[in-house]
């Protein structure tokens, strides 16, 4: 799509994962909000054949501003990607790597018809930065996770040399400059099998982060992770260090309605509940639980006697990320896998949804008192923005790292205690953590802390806020400076 001579054209390269696409496109929308009619953005998106165009996803893309144009590349099929045992990270990494020739072709075509100024590549797709160098334009990585996870990535080579065992077997806490010390078991999934292809690809990505030509845009904000940001900045290239510049541009979360239905069933149900009385339960866009865990969670919710909204309920699966790329596991009738009589017994206590809930609207509803979350970073930021305390229940990817951050450092969550032998959170512990957050003194202190973070999050995105100033400076650079300068 051709832009006018006065328009600054930015290219974005995403990955075939809806949560990543939402985050980087919401950043694009934020940029356009600050620089109305002066930017045009083209988002190039590799796809997987297993990706399904769910209605919520279609609505999101259909509602983008007119000056954001998305190009969906043809899906890349291979025997490796069709293997159901391949992890989420490996599927994303391999599919984007195989899409690189198409990405390059698209970028070169854009550069011939527009004044392409900058390239921003998703953190799972750092290979695309080579094309920015080829086109001699500004080139950045968009990192949709926390600064703490970025710190782990920056230190991955040293950690690989210093830790001799598997991280999950490390006997003590592992220290990261500017961050809390955490258990090796809470490191991202990509690091948990050091002999695997996933670990090798992770180390390769981390090395590319260190070589990001013009910097890394992190979906966090200074006031949330101040010490981690300072520790990274002290080793940044501006100070003669070996890290690229890091720009905190968050919290970037989904804005506007997340579905075409203005008042869906769950919002109407929430309207009838008391303020701060409902526990919202959701494991994100692809999280799944085993049959045993579904049974324990259902019974724990029932026994807690607290109101609950359980959304995005999927059929049981022993793989935590079984539906990450697809909504095909959603079913019409949950009766066949929920405990016998559960829905009837809890019909006055809760609402169970097999379909997608408009999470932003749910978290902003006055009746929501807490969020039982898988701790995907988008969900963490949305919870913080709305001042909703959390029960941390991580499943895969970097979610355990996020859970450690929100419970041990930010102290805005309680963590569900898992029975390691059975790899399940039992109903008694579920009741305990729900009551602890919804009723106890500890929960009261958590609610106070998350309300403080809500103010800081909103402040960061105000006109004179820390993240707004950062985005504005980047926009000014892209508009007024050529790469040669």
pLDDT at 328: 45
Residues 295-316: pLDDT tens digits?
999 999 999 999 999 999 888 9
Please check whether residue 222 is in contact with residue 147, taking contact to mean a CB–CB distance below 8 angstroms.
no
pLDDT at 482: 55
Across residues 252-259, what is the average pLDDT?
77
Res. 186: pLDDT tops 50? yes
Distance, CA of 371 to CA of 380 (rounded, Å) = 10
Please check whether residue 142 is in contact with residue 401, taking contact to mean a CB–CB distance below 8 angstroms.
no
Please check whether residue 450 is in contact with residue 388, taking contact to mean a CB–CB distance below 8 angstroms.
yes
pLDDT at 81: 57
pLDDT at 22: 95
The active-site residue, picked from 20, 40, 374, 386, is 20
Res. 248: pLDDT tops 90? yes
Residues 46-102: pLDDT tens digits?
998 655 445 567 889 999 999 999 999 998 765 555 566 678 888 888 999 999 999
Strands (E), 124-243: 138-143, 173-174, 182-183, 216-218
| Annotation marks residue 408 as catalytic | no
pLDDT at 324: 60
pLDDT at 330: 46
Confidence band of 321 (pLDDT split at 50, 70, 90): low
pLDDT at 484: 41
* Of the ranges 269-278, 282-291, 320-329, the best mean pLDDT one: 269-278
Residues 450-473: pLDDT tens digits?
999 999 999 999 999 999 999 999
Query: Model pTM?
Result: 0.94
Res. 115: pLDDT tops 60? yes
SS3 state of residue 402:
helix
- The secondary element (H helix, E strand) that includes residue 248 is strand 246-248
- The secondary element (H helix, E strand) that includes residue 147 is helix 147-154
CA 252-444-148 angle, to 5 degrees, is 35
Residues 136-156: pLDDT tens digits?
999 999 999 999 999 999 999
Distance, CA of 437 to CA of 174 (rounded, Å) = 28
Q: Please name which of 75, 119, 139 lies closest in space to residue 325, comparing C-alpha atoms.
A: 75
Distance, CA of 265 to CA of 352 (rounded, Å) = 11
| Annotation marks residue 122 as catalytic | yes
Domains of the chain: 8-250+461-480 (3.40.50.2000), 265-458 (3.40.50.2000)
**Cα of 284 vs its chain's centroid, Å:** 10
Task: Spell out the residues 6+ positions from residue 281 whose beta carbon is closer than 8 angstroms to its own.
Answer: 297, 301, 308, 309, 310, 311, 372
pLDDT at 141: 98
Distance, CA of 306 to CA of 302 (rounded, Å) = 8
Tokens of 175: 């220290």
Q: Which residue has the tokens 């100070």?
A: 239
Residues 376-427: pLDDT tens digits?
999 999 999 999 999 999 999 999 999 999 999 999 999 999 876 678 999 9
The active-site residue, picked from 9, 122, 189, 327, is 122
């Amino acid at each position: 799509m051709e832009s006018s001579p006065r328009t600054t054209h930015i290219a974005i390269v995403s990955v075939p994962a809806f949560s990543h696409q939402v985050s980087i496109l919401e950043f694009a929308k934020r940029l356009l909000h600050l620089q109305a009619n002066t930017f045009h953005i083209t988002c190039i998106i590799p796809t997987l054949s297993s990706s399904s165009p769910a209605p919520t996803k279609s609505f999101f893309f259909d509602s983008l501003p007119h000056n954001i144009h998305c190009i969906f590349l043809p899906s890349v099929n291979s025997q490796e990607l069709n293997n159901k045992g391949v992890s989420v990270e490996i599927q994303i990494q391999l599919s984007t790597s195989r899409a690189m020739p198409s990405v390059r072709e698209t970028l070169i075509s854009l550069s011939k018809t527009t004044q392409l100024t900058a390239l921003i590549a998703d953190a799972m797709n750092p290979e695309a930065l080579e094309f920015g160098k080829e086109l001699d334009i500004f080139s950045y990585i968009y990192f949709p996770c926390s600064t703490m996870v970025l710190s782990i990535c920056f230190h991955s080579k040293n950690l690989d040399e210093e830790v001799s065992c598997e991280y999950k077997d490390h006997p003590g806490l592992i220290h990261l400059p500017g961050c809390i010390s955490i258990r090796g078991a809470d490191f991202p999934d990509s690091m948990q099998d050091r002999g695997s292809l996933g670990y090798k690809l992770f180390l390769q990505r981390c090395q590319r982060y260190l070589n990001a030509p013009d910097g890394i845009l992190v979906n966090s904000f200074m006031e949330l992770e101040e010490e981690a940001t300072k520790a990274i900045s002290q080793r940044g290239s501006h100070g003669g260090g070996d890290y690229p510049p890091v720009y905190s541009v968050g919290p970037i979360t989904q804005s506007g309605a997340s579905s075409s239905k203005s008042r869906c069933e769950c919002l109407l149900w929430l309207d009838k509940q008391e303020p701060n009385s409902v526990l919202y339960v959701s494991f994100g866009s692809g999280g799944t639980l085993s049959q045993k865990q579904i049974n324990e969670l259902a019974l724990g919710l029932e026994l807690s006697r607290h109101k609950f909204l359980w959304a995005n309920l999927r059929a049981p699966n022993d793989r935590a990320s079984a539906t990450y790329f697809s909504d095909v596991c959603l079913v019409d009738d949950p009766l066949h896998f929920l405990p016998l009589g559960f829905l009837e017994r809890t019909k006055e206590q809760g609402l169970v949804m097999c379909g997608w809930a408009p999470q932003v609207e749910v978290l902003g509803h006055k009746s929501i008192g807490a969020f039982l979350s898988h701790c995907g970073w988008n969900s963490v930021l949305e919870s913080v923005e709305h001042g909703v305390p959390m029960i941390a229940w991580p499943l895969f990817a970097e979610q355990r790292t996020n859970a450690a951050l929100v419970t041990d450092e930010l102290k805005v969550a309680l963590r569900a205690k898992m029975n390691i032998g059975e790899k399940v959170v039992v109903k008694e512990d579920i009741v305990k953590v729900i009551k602890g957050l919804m009723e106890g003194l500890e929960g009261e202190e958590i609610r106070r802390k998350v309300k403080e973070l809500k103010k800081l999050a909103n402040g960061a995105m105000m006109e004179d806020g820390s993240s707004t100033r950062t985005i504005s400076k980047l926009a000014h650079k892209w508009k007024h400076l050529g790469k040669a300068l």
